[in-house]
Amino acid sequence: MTSDPATAYVWIWLPDALEPVVCGRLDDADGMITFTYARSYLEQVADVVPIYGPELPLQRGQQRAEVGTRLPLCIDDSMPDAWGRQVVNHRLGSPTASFGELTYLLESGSDRIGALDFQQSSGEYVARAIDHPGLDDLAEAARRMQAGEELGAELEAALLHGSSVGGARPKALVVDSSRRMIAKFSSTTDLYPVVQGEFVAMALAARCGLDVAPVELRHTAGRHTLLVERFDRQASGARRRVVSALTVLGLDPFPGGRYATYVDLADRIRADFVRPDETLHELFGRISINILAGNTDDHGRNHAAFVGDMLELTPAYDICPQARTGEVAAQAMAFTRPDDARPGDRDARIAPLIDAAHEYHLDRNTARQIVDHQIEVIHAAWNEVCDLAELTTPQREAFMGTQFLNRYALAD
What's the pLDDT tens digit per position in 126-167?
998 656 667 777 787 777 777 777 766 666 666 666 566 666
Query: What pLDDT sits at residue 150?
Result: 72
CB-CB contact of 62 with 41 (8 Å)? no
Q: Which helix (H) or strand (E) holds 199?
A: helix 194-207
pTM, two decimal places: 0.93
* Start-to-end Cα distance in the chain: 58
Question: In this predicted model, what pLDDT tens digit does every residue of 294-351 receive, in sequence order?
Answer: 999 999 999 999 999 999 999 999 999 999 888 899 999 999 998 877 889 999 999 9
Residues 6+ apart with CB under 8 A from 61: 36
Residue of 273, 329, 265 whose CA lies nearest to 302: 265
Residues 6+ apart with CB under 8 A from 207: 377, 381, 385
Residue of 374, 254, 241, 229 whose CA lies nearest to 304: 241
Query: What pLDDT sits at residue 160?
Result: 66
CB-CB contact of 348 with 330 (8 Å)? yes
Backbone angles phi, psi at 217, to 5 degrees: -105, 145
DSSP letter for 323, please: P
Query: What pLDDT sits at residue 148?
Result: 74
Query: What pLDDT sits at residue 164?
Result: 62
Residue of 331, 374, 335 whose CA lies nearest to 352: 335
Residue 209 sits at the vertex; the CA angle it makes with 387 and 322, to the nearest 5 degrees, is: 55
Query: What pLDDT sits at residue 165?
Result: 67
Helix ranges, 208-336 (H): 245-249, 262-272, 276-293
Question: In this predicted model, what pLDDT tens digit does every residue of 60-86 receive, in sequence order?
Answer: 999 988 776 578 999 999 988 877 788
Most confident of 28-32, 222-226, 337-341: 222-226
Q: Does position 397 have pLDDT exceeding 50, yes or no?
A: yes
DSSP letter for 6, please: S
Q: For 164-185, b where at least 16 C-beta lie within 10 A, e where not — what string?
A: bbbbebbbbbbeeeeebbbbbb
Backbone angles phi, psi at 82, to 5 degrees: -55, -50
Write down the mean pLDDT value for the chain.
90
Least confident of 24-28, 187-191, 276-280: 187-191
Residue 255: asked if its preceding bond is cis (omega within 30°), the reply is yes
Residues 6+ apart with CB under 8 A from 15: 47, 49, 238, 308
How large is the angle between the packed helices 152-161 and 135-147, nearest 10 degrees? 100
Q: Does position 271 have pLDDT exceeding 90, yes or no?
A: yes
Helix ranges, 45-134 (H): 73-76, 82-91, 101-107
Most confident of 88-92, 185-189, 244-248: 244-248
- 211-214 LR contacts (CB < 8 Å, sep 24+): 211/282, 211/313, 211/315, 211/316, 212/315, 212/316, 212/317, 212/319, 213/315, 213/316, 213/317
Query: What pLDDT sits at residue 1?
Result: 46
The Cα–Cα gap between 197 and 319 comes to 9
**Percentage of the residues of the chain whose pLDDT score is greater than 70:** 93
The Cα–Cα gap between 352 and 339 comes to 14
